Amino acid sequence: MSRKLVAGNWKMNLQKDEAHALIAEILGMLNDEVNAEKKVILFPSFVHLGAAVQLCSADKRISIGAQNCSDKVSGAFTGEVSAAMLRSVGCKYVLIGHSERRQLFNENNQWLAEKINTALKELLHPVYCIGETLEQRNGNQHFSTIEAQLNEGIFHLNENEFRKCILAYEPVWAIGTGVTASADQAQEMHAFIRSLVNKKYGASIAEETTILYGGSCNDQNAGELFSLPDVDGGLIGGASLKSRSFVNIIKALP
């Protein structure tokens, strides 16, 4: 099966009507312009998930995921949303450890490891996000940062569990900044990540692991990024909120 896909992370954007309209536009353009093999995941906010699942149910290319989930199974955790609830409304994926969660909500690797475990128990596919800050890159700590995020956040999984996961490399300095990683920087880090997966789980799992790039990816630079040997598509923020740019990015998948 192809490793390649494009995902749209809507973050905390779009009211109900806007969300539904965006989905309708994307569905129309996919229908007219995009072949049936492409794989797409949308990550709307919690309140739009159920409707998004319904609206997209006729298009096999699109799956729906949540932007976060609790590490707890159920109970007195006011304001939290469990993996089982996500599953029950038809979600297939969940973002774990987006850099905004790490930075603004203090989610650390250990906590994220718990979230991954909970998500997998409910048969969701975690999309585990990793990435270094500008300070870490300038201090030449980008490789060690990524290695620690993998070792502490996801490499506790066994082979079967790990195969259900997707990785997303999102350098924090590239998210929402308009500064994209260069092709060399992206390929270097994606190859490094795949080499760590190879060391931990072996060549065949490394070969089938999807590693997305995220951070100011748009319809101008997606073609170059997606053509890199170890970049398997993108996790798109800002450019996923406009149907035209998002579908152009999907069309840039080789």
* DSSP reduced 3-state for 81: coil
The residue (of 175 and 247) whose beta carbon lies closer to ligand PGA is 175
Cα end-to-end span (Å), the chain: 14
Active site residue 170: yes
The residue (of 9 and 136) whose beta carbon lies closer to ligand PGA is 9
Q: Which residues contact 32 (CB under 8 A, 6 or more apart)?
A: none
The residue (of 201 and 237) whose beta carbon lies closer to ligand PGA is 237
Active site residue 98: yes
Candidates 14-22, 53-61, 154-162, 214-222: pick the segment binding ligand PGA (CB under 6 A): 214-222
Enter the tokens of residue 147: 């290695």
Instruction: Note whether 65 binds ligand PGA by CB under 6 A.
Output: no
Instruction: Note whether 217 binds ligand PGA by CB under 6 A.
Output: yes
Q: Which residues contact 11 (CB under 8 A, 6 or more apart)?
A: 45, 67, 100, 237
Binding ligand PGA by CB under 6 A: which of 28, 139, 176, 202? 176
Query: Of these residues, 125, 142, 170, 190, which one is catalytic?
Result: 170
Instruction: Note whether 216 binds ligand PGA by CB under 6 A.
Output: yes
Q: Which of 184, 180, 162, 161 is nearest to 171 (CA)?
A: 180
Distance CA 14, CA 22 (A): 9
Instruction: Note whether 68 binds ligand PGA by CB under 6 A.
Output: no
Distance CA 87, CA 66 (A): 10
CB of 75 to ligand PGA, least distance (A): 30
Binding ligand PGA by CB under 6 A: which of 44, 153, 233, 237? 237
Binding ligand PGA by CB under 6 A: which of 112, 116, 225, 236? 236
The residue (of 6 and 239) whose beta carbon lies closer to ligand PGA is 239
Q: How many residues bind ligand PGA (CB under 6 A)?
A: 13
State the Rg of the chain over Cα. 17
Instruction: Note whether 214 binds ligand PGA by CB under 6 A.
Output: yes
Q: Is the separation of the CB atoms in 70 and 35 below 8 Å?
A: no
CB of 174 to ligand PGA, least distance (A): 6
Q: Which of 249, 254, 145, 124 is nearest to 196 (CA)?
A: 145
Distance CA 61, CA 54 (A): 14
CB of 234 to ligand PGA, least distance (A): 8
Distance CA 99, CA 141 (A): 16
The residue with tokens 């994307």 is 26
* DSSP reduced 3-state for 23: helix
Query: Of these residues, 48, 98, 125, 190, which one is catalytic?
Result: 98
Instruction: Note whether 235 binds ligand PGA by CB under 6 A.
Output: yes
Binding site for ligand PGA (CB under 6 A): 9, 170, 175-176, 214-217, 235-239
Q: Which residues are identified as catalytic? A: 98, 170
